[in-house]
Amino acid sequence: MIEQTIVSILHRVPERFVELLEKEDPIAMALMARGQAVLRFIDDSGAWWIHGAGEWKVSETAVWGIKRLMPPEWLWTMDWPLKVVSKEINIEYA
């Protein structure tokens, strides 16, 4: 259910948010990067179109791609997503 919620976000957000992403708005991109980074915490369901295949993981590719678009003064917003996809931050299940 979490996986489905994350991957369907663009179908549920206001059209204005998508417009901001299209204009490469730093805040919108930072929010999108966080959502994409969370995919790394979810077990691979085998859905390659969600998780990617082999070395090409969707969450990593998306977060690094967003970072490349981010203006220098907003790069700090990418710290957490980059740490997640670089596996510096993990979730421990109890």
Tens digits of residue pLDDT in 41-89: 877 667 766 777 777 778 899 999 999 999 999 999 999 999 999 999 9
* pLDDT at res. 38: 86
Q: H or E element: which one contains 52?
A: strand 52-53
Contacts of 84 (CB under 8 A, 6+ apart): 37, 38, 40, 41, 59, 63
What's 55's DSSP letter? T
pTM: 0.82
Q: What is the pLDDT of residues 14-44, one digit of tens each?
A: 999 999 999 999 999 999 999 889 888 877 6
